Chain A
Amino acid sequence: MFRFIIRRSLGAFVILLLISAFTFFMFFAIPQDPALLACGKNCGPEALELIHKNMGLDKPVPEQYFEFMKGIVAGRDFSVGHCDAPCFGISFDDQRNVWDTIIDRLPLTVSLTVGGLVVFLAIGIGAGMIAARKKGTLTDKSVSSLSLVFSSMQIYFLGPIMLGLLVYSTGWMDSPKYVPISEDPIGWAVGLLIPWFVMALIFTAQYTRMSRSTLIEQMQEDHVRTAKAKGMSKRYVFYRYAWRGSLTPIVTILGIDLGSLLGGAIVTEQTFSLAGLGQLVIDSTNNKDLPMTMGVMLISAAFILLLNIIVDVVYGFIDPRVRLA
């Protein structure tokens, strides 16, 4: 297990390096000078030169990349002061330390993603279990069709509708807001409840379907029959044998979904006007804010890779056959 995590972490490190290089060099492929934006309307060549120098844009691109990467490990000195490691530079836009901004915004996005994930897994697996146990009945059919309806909707459509329904017209809930979990765990959960559910409803459908079909398949397995032949009760056989076997494919699609999950979180932030990484990534790209773009890209990639490693570890946890693989 330990070896496995080390190996995967090394792999993740290589992927992050590739992402950083790709993002950095692509940035310079865009034919627009970020210094022009900073320079303002009355910008002379000398002023531009100076800004270039301040931003470090006067050096060759590979050297700039090397400086940037060195900063993450060792920290960097800027005209405005020292930037501690991990240093992702100073934003071209607001002159703040990029790392500080990310640290401000990251908890919200992580809360949204992880919370949404928990909610949709719970609903998806739960609904799938109900449908599988009541296979062929009205309950089964309602669950299946309902999940299909929600899955064909979009966050930016479902989001406003939920807001209108639960917040504006009935006043049952407050507008979604972010309260750090360390300050008020209940407030944190209540504040994000609506976004979680909106995200979850859209992702749930395929988990419901997957969970239902694999459970039905598992119930036909030989080892489930053996468990019945031992006299174990129906409930026991269903939960301990069939259900356990249905988790592997669910974890598999979860691994595939992780990337789009972060995308979903960004759209959700936009829909509910929450200030997370989503707003940051859009703004920084529009503003040609290289350090910020790099920072957000790398942090979100690292986050997804981390989730992926967790998924793989969970795999081994579910199925002893893939342990120590």
Chain B
Amino acid sequence: MTTMTKQAETPPPSAGDPYLTVDDLHVRFSTEDGVVQAVNGLSFGLERGRTLGIVGESGSGKSVTNLTVLGLHNPTTTEVTGSIELDGQELIGASEKKLEGLRGHKMAMIFQDPLTALSPYYTIGRQIAEPYRKHLGASKKEAHARATEMLHKVGIPNPKLRVNDYPHQFSGGMRQRAMIAMALVCNPDLLIADEPTTALDVTVQAQILDLLRDLQQEFGSAIVFITHDLGVIANMADDIMVMYGGRAVERGTAREVLRSPQHPYTWGLLSSMPRLGGDVNAQLRPIEGTPPSLLNPPPGCPFHPRCDFQDEVTGASCVRDQPKLPDGRAAACHLTAEQKRTFFIEQIKPRLG
């Protein structure tokens, strides 16, 4: 049976160096309205075989970060500083040619909407075969055979026939499977999945999540899984990073973040979503206000304008100082460790039902 136990259950002590290391990443782009500070001082590492879930709402910088890792940002309007290392190679400032050699080969991406992310003009088989030919120098025939094999691997029935179909002849779920086949065709060591199931129905989403988990077992890739859905992340991730306003605000293993979250924003996310097992008469507790403007971010902690707990912090640190995110299991918040624990247990946990 395919009930994959999540790696989070027994977090293996990190033996090797992380495959992907992002260090103090800043991404800014200039727009007509001013400079958007999309990502501010983001650092994380990820090993092969593990899944990092990045949670955040629109504008949290989660997608921008990952487009930057692949170097898909617009170089003329975007300013990137910091460091992104893939298997020890620095990607920021790397030549376009070098990046082209890595994209689709060592690092691949799955996008949210498989309908628009696949070209309507070429067959599924051709689109899967393209990176295989480019990166591994395979012949047309070999690449076609490989595309068929990949379609079989991702569970497309009749792969020999369907390989010659166009994307519009596939259903939404099958398109996302084809997209996954395309990303994995060169056995990449890093797979970035940007909201891969958001556009799909729940039963199809469950299929795709199972598939991704099983393929990871087989291929051993590192996966960055971006989503806004905490339920999905609980199913997929070993580690979780919560992003808000272009910064990481909380980090830890999936179990740590979901069972004993430390950041008020994470608390807010958890208490604002209804659960199948929750009390139907309990009110949802939304996070009031709206996400911060990235053109003109608030001083101090980016979450402070929406935070219920800033009065608990002595002085005006929340308004003045940007809280740091220490290494390891941590949250970027001025509350003391003691406060974080008591507030969660006394005020937040009862709400989660």
Contacts and interface: CB of A to CB of B under 8 A. Distances in A.
* Genuine A/B complex: yes
Interface of A: 221-234, 240-241, 244-245, 318-321
A222 B100 contact: no
Contact of B113 (A222, A227, A319): A222
B285 interface: no
Contacts, number: 74
Given A225-B72, A320-B166, A321-B166, A231 B105 contact: yes
Interface residues of B, number: 29
B111 A230 contact: no
B125 interface: no
Nearest to A135: B76
Interface of B: 70, 72, 96, 99-105, 108-109, 111, 113, 116-122, 130-131, 134-135, 166, 168, 179, 182
Contacts of A320: 120-121, 166, 168
Contact of B118 (A223, A228, A234): A223
A321 B119 CA distance: 11
B104 A229 contact: yes
A223 B117 contact: yes
Given A320-B166, A320-B168, A232 B130 contact: yes
Nearest to B101: A231
Contact of A231 (B113, B135, B166): B135
A57 B179 CA distance: 71
B134 A245 contact: no
14 contacts: A222-B113, A225-B111, A226-B111, A226-B182, A229-B103, A229-B108, A232-B104, A232-B131, A233-B100, A244-B119, A245-B121, A320-B120, A320-B121, A320-B166
B72 A228 contact: yes
A319 B121 contact: yes
Nearest to B105: A231
Contacts of A230: 103-104, 108, 130-131, 134, 182
A318 B70 CA distance: 30
A157 to B, nearest CB: 41
A1 to B, nearest CB: 15
B121 A231 contact: no
A244 B111 contact: no
A232 B134 contact: yes
B103 A231 contact: yes
Q: Which 7 A-B pairs have the closest CB atoms?
A: A231-B104, A231-B103, A230-B104, A222-B116, A223-B119, A230-B131, A229-B109
A229 B188 CA distance: 12
Contacts of B122: 240
B120 A321 contact: yes
Contacts of B168: 320-321
A231 B116 contact: no
Contacts of B182: 226, 230
A241 B117 contact: no
Nearest to A220: B74
A324 to B, nearest CB: 11
Contact of A234 (B96, B102, B134): B96
Contacts of B117: 222-223, 225-226
Nearest to B126: A240
B118 A226 contact: yes
Contacts of B72: 225, 228-229
A325 B179 CA distance: 26
A246 to B, nearest CB: 11
Nearest to B166: A320
Contacts of B70: 229
A319 B100 CA distance: 28
Contacts of B101: 231
**Which of A222, A233, A234 counts the most chain B CB atoms within 10 A?**
A222
B108 A319 contact: no
B121 A318 contact: yes
Contacts of B109: 226, 229
Contacts of B116: 221-223
Contacts of A224: 119
Q: Which of A229, A232, A319, A320 has the most CB of B within 10 A?
A: A229
B100 A232 contact: yes
A160 to B, nearest CB: 44
